[in-house]
Structure 1
Amino acid sequence: MLFIPLPIVVAILLLVLFVVAVRRDDEDRPPNVPFLALILVNVLQSLLIGLRWGYGVQAVMYIAPVVAATIPPLVYAGICQLIGRSWFSPSLRVSVHALSALLIVALSFFWRDAIDIALVLIFVSYAVAILLLVRPGTDALRLAAFDEAGSAYHAILFAAGALLLSAIGDTFIFLDMEWTQGRNALLVIMGGQLAALIILSVSVAAMGRSRPSVGTTEMADVTDNLDNGAGVAETVLAVQAFMQEKAIYRDCDLTLDRLARKVGIPARQISIAINEATGKNVSQFVNQFRISEACDLLSQTKKPVTEIMFEVGFQTKSNFNREFRRLTDTTPLEWRKTQSSAAKSRR
């Protein structure tokens, strides 16, 4: 009977995920190439694990560390593309991120015992860099639609967690090799690596749903003087007035950068002002307008909930229901029923 190791099965599932991600791409939402490449790298990594520990192919042990070293840079590059931020030119970016793999290649020839430590440092460094990149919260995802920003942000945190999980697993394996000659290494490698690959790939799939539209350009960060209350209040009032007059919140693809361009105020200034004045991020601020109109439509019309959801700017029912409950402590259907009963009692 043919024996198929679990990592090989995982590789097949990841390949299916890649096909789904490619087929989902369209003209309005260009593909996130680093994320697509990351899925393929995870497929290769799973195959290598399966060959090494399932079929005893020893030669892959020279390739696997190099492949592993490409994972953190791809995660970081994909997130940079998602949020529209990078501190290097494209050519320099490739050179910087290639250093990880080149370091492992060099260590393979000159100091193999240091490979495990180097991989741990690479994974931890990129995980920390990702967390620093998105420390402003969902407002860091300036090119992601507000309706998708929350899911993408949590997916980014899971991706950083997967990198840290891999680093912890590699550390345990290194210590196990030193102390027990690898008695528990197989279990940790199979369990930890597969868990990290699955978490990472699922996170990438979730982040892949939130991508900048064609033609979206990055606005330069401007450090504005918002130390005085007037500057904060004026910014918030300007955004609020624009929301009420133009109903821009109905745009399901509305992003922080797009909002900034339409209002004529830098994205960073809007984010800081709304956070200081309301204690909310911009996504929550925009969703207040969406839910407010949804409440009016539920009370005053007989439109289906799904139609109202799309009309006010939401794209998914789960996000709409979550935000509706957060702001009203009830569901859309319960709200409509309560308002209908209240209207009848007033007659």
Structure 2
Amino acid sequence: MLLIPLSFLLSLLCFGLLLRMEWPTKGRWVLQLLLIVCVWQSALIGMRFGYQMAWVGKLQPIGAVLIPLLCYFAYMQCVIGSLGKIASHTFVLSVLVLFAQHVIPVILDWIIIVSYLGYGFAVLRSFRLYNKNNQLVTTKESGTSHPLWFGAAILLIMSGVIESLIVMDFALMSGVHVGKLITFGNVTIFILVVLMSPISWRQSSTEAGHEMQLSSASPHDVALYENWFNQINQRLLHEHLYLDADLNLALLARKVGLPARKISQAINQQTGMNVSQFINKMRIQYAAQRLVHSESTVTEVMLDAGFNTKSNFNREFRRVYGVNPSEWRQNHSSTSC
């Protein structure tokens, strides 16, 4: 009877998720690349431990460190809207793996472990800070993706822990429990991925349906959205509401006199952004002008613009202008001179 390793089923599941997404998707290419690497890596694991093809072990390390790295930056791209320093992270990790593989093999496993644990906790930390700093995003806009990325972070941390146990088992017990640990890890990860898959599929279907709904809106609906948007924009600018650090969707709805759902729909239809992204863009544009035309410190400008944390301010500034606030001030100060 032909044995089909569980890793092959994981590979097929990831491939199925990939097929559910349009290729290529501009705002999700890192996630799509992550799924491709997962298909590759799961197939290699199945070949190595399911059919004792030891030679594929040389191909595993690069994929092993790319998975947590790509997972972190897929989260950054899909949720935060910024890729940050993905190229430098990829280069450094790849060089470290190749160096360890050929020069100091003993540290290779620990590089992989640190990658899984480090990026896993980084996703959890960024996830928590993003939820704290983005009170303007409605549950409908972001809620479906929350379990998906939280589950992904747990998967990374779990993989790092299992990899640590495997390394210790080899060191202390000559690897007698490796088979059980790999099986336990594969079963647990498979169950979590299966539980997360409907969330991913539902999210893709919801987004596709939402885009279709907006693209097929009647002229009357478009005019209605435009009227709501003008009403929202006028109130935000006239009363400088966007500079209020405590502004949330409920408060904005009360000030404008529209239900929160209509505010989200109008902003999304007119700008392609959610409420939080739209408000933060207005704040960043205000901050950019202050940085050039005032002598206030970056921290003072950040607080005046409605941001509470430097990390969120820097991230949003880079998302809008591609540079951090200090670089923006330096570039435009030298230009004005």
Provide TM-score, normalisation by structure 1. 0.60
In the other structure, the counterpart of 2:115 is 122
Give yes or no for contact 1:11–1:43 (8 Å, CA) kept in 2: yes
Give yes or no for contact 1:72–1:163 (8 Å, CA) kept in 2: yes
Amino acid at match of 1:127: G
Q: 1:127 to 1:143 in 2, by over 3 A?
A: farther
1:191 matched to 2:184? The reply is yes
Which runs of 5 or more residues in structure 1 are unaligned?
Answer: 215-229, 273-347
1:240 matched to 2:254? The reply is yes
Amino acid at match of 1:77: F
Q: 1:205 to 1:105 in 2, by over 3 A?
A: farther
Counterpart Cα distance in 1 of 2:247 and 2:35: 45
In the other structure, the counterpart of 1:336 is none
Q: 1:43 to 1:193 in 2, by over 3 A?
A: same
Amino acid at match of 1:2: L
Q: Which has the higher contact order (CA 8 A, sep 6+)?
A: 1
Counterpart Cα distance in 2 of 1:199 and 1:123: 16
Q: 1:173 to 1:233 in 2, by over 3 A?
A: closer
Q: Give the total of aligned pairs.
A: 249
Q: Secondary structure at the match of 2:143?
A: helix
In the other structure, the counterpart of 1:174 is 167
RMSD: 3.9
1:34-53 per-residue CA deviation (whole Å, 9 max, x = no partner) reads: 11111111111111111111
Q: CA deviation at 1:22?
A: 3.0
Give yes or no for contact 1:21–1:205 (8 Å, CA) kept in 2: no
In the other structure, the counterpart of 1:32 is 28
Amino acid at match of 1:35: L
Amino acid at match of 2:87: V
Counterpart Cα distance in 1 of 2:103 and 2:175: 23
Amino acid at match of 1:9: L
In the other structure, the counterpart of 2:154 is 161
Q: CA deviation at 1:142?
A: 9.0
Amino acid at match of 1:22: E
In the other structure, the counterpart of 2:125 is 132
Query: What does residue range 219-298 of structure 1 map to in structure 2 within 5 Å?
Result: 237-238=251-252, 240-242=254-256, 244=258, 247-251=262-266, 253=268, 255-260=274-279
Bigger share in helix: 2
Amino acid at match of 1:67: G
Query: What does residue range 309-328 of structure 1 map to in structure 2 within 5 Å?
Result: none
In the other structure, the counterpart of 2:45 is 49
Give yes or no for contact 1:41–1:71 (8 Å, CA) kept in 2: yes
Q: Secondary structure at the match of 1:32?
A: helix
Give yes or no for contact 2:267–2:275 (8 Å, CA) kept in 1: no
Give yes or no for contact 2:134–2:276 (8 Å, CA) kept in 1: no
1:107 matched to 2:126? The reply is no
Q: 1:271 to 1:87 in 2, by over 3 A?
A: same
Q: CA deviation at 1:101?
A: 2.8
Give yes or no for contact 2:244–2:306 (8 Å, CA) kept in 1: no
1:266-306 per-residue CA deviation (whole Å, 9 max, x = no partner) reads: 6997787xxxxxxxxxxxxxxxxxxxxxxxxxxxxxxxxxx
1:290-339 per-residue CA deviation (whole Å, 9 max, x = no partner) reads: xxxxxxxxxxxxxxxxxxxxxxxxxxxxxxxxxxxxxxxxxxxxxxxxxx
Give yes or no for contact 2:75–2:149 (8 Å, CA) kept in 1: yes
Counterpart Cα distance in 2 of 1:159 and 1:74: 11
Which runs of 5 or more residues in structure 2 are unaligned?
Answer: 212-242, 286-301, 309-337
Counterpart Cα distance in 2 of 1:175 and 1:63: 22
Q: 1:252 to 1:238 in 2, by over 3 A?
A: closer
In the other structure, the counterpart of 2:22 is 22
Q: 1:240 to 1:45 in 2, by over 3 A?
A: same
Larger CA deviation: 153-162 vs 190-199: 190-199
Q: Secondary structure at the match of 1:134?
A: helix
Give yes or no for contact 2:6–2:186 (8 Å, CA) kept in 1: no
Give yes or no for contact 1:120–1:171 (8 Å, CA) kept in 2: yes
Counterpart Cα distance in 1 of 2:36 and 2:191: 13
In the other structure, the counterpart of 1:338 is none
1:130-172 per-residue CA deviation (whole Å, 9 max, x = no partner) reads: 1221223536679977414122122211111111000100110
1:73 matched to 2:78? The reply is no
Q: Secondary structure at the match of 1:195?
A: helix
Amino acid at match of 1:69: V
In the other structure, the counterpart of 2:2 is 2
Counterpart Cα distance in 2 of 1:201 and 1:95: 32
